[in-house]
Amino acid sequence: MYGDRIAIDPAVRHGNPIIKGTRFPLEIILGSLAGGMEIVEIVKEYDLQKEDVLAARAYAA
């Protein structure tokens, strides 16, 4: 489900998972969700798509 949205490349951000096509780390999305932010807020705050946030959540699960 998340393979088309998540990238892991040792040459980018030390191999930490990011949103594909960006350098935006999943840890920020997941931290924001854990902190109580709603998906809509994260999309607006970080200029992402809803599917990016859902992919990050699925990856973490």
Looking at residue 2, what is its pLDDT? 79
Domain coordinates of the chain in residue numbers? 6-60
Q: Kindly report the CATH class assigned to 6-60.
A: mainly alpha
Looking at residue 9, what is its pLDDT? 93
Distance CA 31, CA 4 (A): 21
Half-sphere exposure of 18 (CA within 13 A, CB side): 15
Instruction: Please state the pTM of the whole predicted model.
Output: 0.90
Looking at residue 1, what is its pLDDT? 67
Looking at residue 51, what is its pLDDT? 96
- For the chain, the average pLDDT equals 95
Q: Which residue ranges in the chain fall short of pLDDT 70?
A: 1
